[in-house]
Amino acid sequence: MNVELRRLELGDLDTVEEIEQASYPTPWSRSMFVAELRKPSSLALGAYAEAGELVGYAFVSRYVDAWHVMNVAVAAEYRRRGIATTLLERLFEVTASDPRSGYTLEVRVSNTQAIRLYERLGFEARGLRRGYYTDNHEDALIMWREPAVSAGAETA
């Protein structure tokens, strides 16, 4: 599916919240989204359908040695069309110039579809955070993706 990608703005938050609440058992609050949008070390992209409707989003935040994939969601009626992949690949492109740009994330161990998506994008399981999710104390799988080697980089 063709979507237009652009930075999210505060005016997008009503739709972001609708998608979030329909996607997660413990959705982020509006204040969490506002904090990420205002943080200089964060990037937030939205995927917009042909009619300009926001149908998905992804948030990443820069920490000491990696970009942390904070939140990715796609409206239910638009899932399984490559939108999450498109959002994440674009975020990887935008952050590729960062020489310390590994990527990390946590995902529910039961979320096999998301885990498969992340594995297709080059993430590997690196550990567990026991009882990480507050709603049911489910473990989180910690995943890591090494930075891409640029075309002109030398290899050892």
3-state secondary structure of 119: helix
Which H or E element spans position 87?
helix 83-95
Q: How many residues does the chain have?
A: 156
Q: Which position among 36, 53, 118, 146 bears the catalytic label?
A: 118
* Catalytic (active site) residue 118: yes
User: At residue 74, what are phi and psi to the nearest 5 degrees?
Assistant: -135, 140
Choosing from 57, 103, 106, 124, the catalytic residue is: 106
- Shortest CA distance to 71 belongs to which of 58, 84, 61? 58
Spatial contact of 127 and 142, defined as CB atoms under 8 Å apart: yes
Can 50 be counted among the known catalytic residues?
A: no
Residues labelled catalytic: 106, 118
